Structures are given as structure tokens and as C-alpha cells.
């Protein structure tokens, strides 16, 4: 078991960290207040080929393996303080991975080059008002009518939804079955007749990330816009959830590493009762726990990524990692605010924004409770 990075991975990680610190962190406090999507930062990330990492070179990508993509997301989460931007990029990567694995040659040639360049923003639409992690309870229907499908239904909380140019929408195409062939996935472009979307939803955190509702009313989608094959949607969702539950926690670990450094620095500099507060066990224990959870989180993250690179299932590892890392991030952010005291509650020190952003990590991509259920099922309970 070799946990060392290759020279290429080290160089890529260092270049992303330098780039993010130099280009992505100006004006974040104001952007957070305005809940504004940072399009200029998005453009800069596309020029750095971050969105192109897992895409083959023939489609304008970098051709990196999944582990390298995970390491890159870790670096971005560490150096970029805008968690909303990082999440938006993760969604773009996930859509690219889906197209690479399931798309036709024509779909790859049409969507992957502009996706890699950031010229189009993509989203995937799964969650509905009454169906989140329970994907078999989806109500959005896609009924075949000749060489088209007519979609009716709605989605909610969709990342990138209000600003996306192309959305991968999951819908029920075989309502008579509750098996794997119940769902299919469709490409829907923003100007498609019968498709509408809401303004961005107001949120507690991740304010620069644009989430919204999508509505489909007799939305006609040509048969050529099916991603993969009819009835392949559930298989695609299972794969996508594994990737997502590795990519996003990789960024979360990067955020935890940044928070750890900030807490160490503050605990050394801040004095009370004649000594640095880091000398008090109540403070040092919190910081030691952060370090412990970062190192443990890295191990499960790397294991899951390597399994995917070897074309193996990583359902258990992805769920363990998602549960452990997201809960650890939330706890680390809460402890960071506590360590910083009154300053931690102030916008200026930014750890309060990290705390607000961290709450969502235990909800999206399957809540912590859902991850516990998945783990229990996979170990035979």
C-alpha cells in the first residue's frame, strides 16, 4: 500500500493551491452577502483545466485518473475559500464523468469540449419535493411518444440549476416496475420548450452556489437526448453517487486542513492567563481531534478513489467517507468558531462562513442518516 503522490500529482496539487490563493479568494465576503455566482472565478478555473481533469484528451480533457481528480479537488477545497464555487465545479466534474461513461459518441463530441472549457455549465437533477435519497419514489415522468419523450414533473434544490445551460434530468420511464429499469436520464438544454426554472433559493450557507427548482410541463425531449439507454438511470445514479461521495468529501478534507492551520495559528498567538490558549487542554484537544479526523478521512477517501480507478464498486467506502468526513467537517468548523471565541463569530475572521457552509455537507448527496442506513444494509443488517 503506497500512499505517496506521484511527481505529477504533487506538481498539480501545488499549482492548484497557488492558483486558488492568487485568483479565487478576493471579495468572497461580499459575494457571500450578495449570494452571487462567481462567474469570473469559474472562467479562471476552466482555464486551469480543473473541469477537464477526468475527461479524455480527444474531447479536450486532461485524461487524469479519478485519484488525481480527487487530489485536485482536495487542493481546491484547501486553497479556495469559496465552498460554493468548489461545489459547483464538483457538479460539473460529475456530469462530465457521467457523459464519459454512459454517453454516445455524438453526445461526448457535443457536450464534453464546452464542458471542459467551462463554456457551458451543467447540472444533474435528481431530488424532488417528495423524493430525495429515495430515488425510486421519483414522480417526474418521461412518456415516450414516437421519437420523443414528454417530461412532466419538478425537481428541487438542484445545484447549478438556475444557471445551467444543460441539465441531466432523471425521470421515470417505466412506472410499472420498481426495479433498476424504472429510471432514465435525459439531456435538457435551457431553451427547451416546456422547461422552466426558479430563481436561486436563499440558503443558510453555500450562498454563492446556485440551487433552484426545475419545472417540466409537456417538455418534449428527442430520443437522441437520452443519456445511456432507456432504463439505465438507476445504474447511472448509483455510479454518480459513489463519485460524488468521494469528490465532495475530498474538498471537505481540504477545507478542514485550512481550518486546522487557522486554529493552530490563532491558538499560538492568542494569549490568556499568561500563556497561549493552545497550552490549555480544552483548546489543544479540539485541534488534535481535527488532525486525527483529517488523517483518517484521507485514508478512506484514497481507498474509495483507487477502487473506482480499478473499475470496482465503492458503495460502502464512499458512504463511510461521506458520513465520517462531512460530520467531521461540521464539528471542526464549530470547534474553530469556539477556539476563536468572539472573533470566530465575526464575519471578518471567516470561520463563521465555514461553519454555515459545513452544515449542508451532512445533508446533500444523502444525509448522514441515509449514509448510516446504507452502511448498515451493505454489512448485512
Is the domain spanning 234-378 CATH 1.20.140.10? The answer is: yes
Task: Look up the pTM and report it.
Answer: 0.96
User: Chain-centre distance of CA 222, in angstroms?
Assistant: 29
Domain boundaries, the chain: 7-121, 123-232, 234-378
For residue 376, with 0-12 CB atoms within 10 Å meaning exposed, 13-18 middle and 19 or more buried, which class applies?
A: exposed
Over its length of 381 residues, how does the chain's per-residue pLDDT go in tens digits?
788 999 999 999 999 999 999 999 999 999 999 999 999 999 999 999 999 999 999 999 999 999 999 999 999 999 999 999 999 999 999 999 999 999 999 999 999 999 999 999 999 999 999 887 787 889 999 999 999 999 999 999 999 999 999 999 999 999 998 888 999 999 999 999 999 999 999 999 999 999 999 999 999 999 999 999 999 999 999 999 999 999 999 999 999 999 999 999 999 999 999 999 999 999 999 999 999 999 999 999 999 999 999 999 999 999 999 999 999 999 999 999 999 999 999 998 899 999 999 999 999 999 999 999 999 999 999
Q: Which spans in the chain are helix H?
A: 7-23, 28-34, 39-47, 66-79, 83-102, 105-116, 233-269, 281-309, 315-340, 351-361, 368-378
Torsion of CA 120, 124, 127, 129, to 10 degrees: 30
CATH code for residues 7-121: 1.10.540.10
Catalytic residues: 244
The domain defined by 123-232 folds into: Butyryl-CoA Dehydrogenase, subunit A; domain 2 (2.40.110)
**pLDDT, position 286:** 98
**Domain 7-121 and domain 234-378 have a common topology:** no
- Alpha carbons 334 and 336: distance in angstroms, whole number: 5
End-to-end CA gap in the chain: 30
Amino acid at each position: 500500500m503506497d500512499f505517496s503522490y506521484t511527481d505529477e500529482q504533487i506538481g498539480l496539487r501545488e499549482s492548484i493551491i497557488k492558483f486558488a490563493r492568487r485568483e479565487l479568494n478576493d471579495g468572497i465576503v461580499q459575494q457571500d452577502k450578495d449570494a452571487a455566482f462567481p462567474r469570473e472565478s469559474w472562467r479562471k478555473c476552466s482555464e486551469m483545466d480543473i473541469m477537464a481533469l477526468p475527461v479524455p484528451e480527444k474531447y479536450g480533457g486532461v485524461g487524469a485518473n479519478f485519484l488525481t481528480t480527487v487530489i485536485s479537488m482536495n487542493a481546491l477545497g484547501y486553497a479556495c475559500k469559496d465552498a460554493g464555487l468548489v461545489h459547483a465545479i464538483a457538479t460539473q466534474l460529475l456530469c462530465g464523468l457521467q457523459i464519459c461513461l454512459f454517453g454516445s459518441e455524438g453526445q461526448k463530441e457535443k457536450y464534453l469540449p464546452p464542458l471542459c472549457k467551462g463554456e457551458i455549465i451543467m447540472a444533474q437533477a435528481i431530488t424532488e419535493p417528495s423524493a430525495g435519497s429515495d430515488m425510486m419514489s421519483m414522480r417526474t415522468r418521461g412518456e415516450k411518444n414516437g421519437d420523443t419523450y414528454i417530461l412532466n414533473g419538478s425537481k428541487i434544490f438542484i445545484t447549478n440549476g438556475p444557471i445551467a445551460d444543460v441539465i441531466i434530468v432523471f425521470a421515470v420511464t417505466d412506472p410499472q416496475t420498481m426495479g433498476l429499469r424504472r429510471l432514465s436520464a435525459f439531456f435538457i438544454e435551457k431553451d427547451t420548450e416546456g422547461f422552466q426554472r426558479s430563481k436561486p433559493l436563499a440558503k443558510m450557507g453555500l450562498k454563492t452556489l446556485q440551487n433552484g427548482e426545475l419545472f417540466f410541463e409537456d417538455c418534449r425531449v428527442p430520443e437522441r437526448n437520452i443519456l445511456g439507454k432507456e432504463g439505465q438511470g438507476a445504474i447511472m445514479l448509483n455510479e454518480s453517487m459513489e463519485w460524488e461521495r468521494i469528490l465532495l468529501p475530498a474538498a471537505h478534507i481540504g477545507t478542514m486542513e485550512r481550518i486546522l492551520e487557522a486554529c493552530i495559528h490563532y491558538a499560538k498567538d492568542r494569549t490568556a492567563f499568561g500563556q497561549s490558549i493552545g497550552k490549555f487542554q480544552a483548546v489543544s484537544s479540539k485541534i488534535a481531534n481535527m488532525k486525527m479526523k483529517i488523517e483518517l478521512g484521507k485514508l478512506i477517501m484514497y481507498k474509495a478513489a483507487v477502487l473506482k480507478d480499478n473499475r470496482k464498486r465503492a458503495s460502502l467506502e464512499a458512504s463511510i467517507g461521506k458520513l465520517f468526513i462531512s460530520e467531521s467537517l461540521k464539528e471542526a468548523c464549530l470547534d474553530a468558531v469556539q477556539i476563536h471565541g468572539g472573533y470566530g463569530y465575526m464575519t471578518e475572521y471567516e470561520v463563521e462562513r465555514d461553519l454555515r457552509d459545513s452544515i449542508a455537507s451532512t445533508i446533500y448527496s444523502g444525509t448522514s442518516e441515509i449514509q448510516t442506513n446504507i452502511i448498515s444494509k451493505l454489512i448485512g443488517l
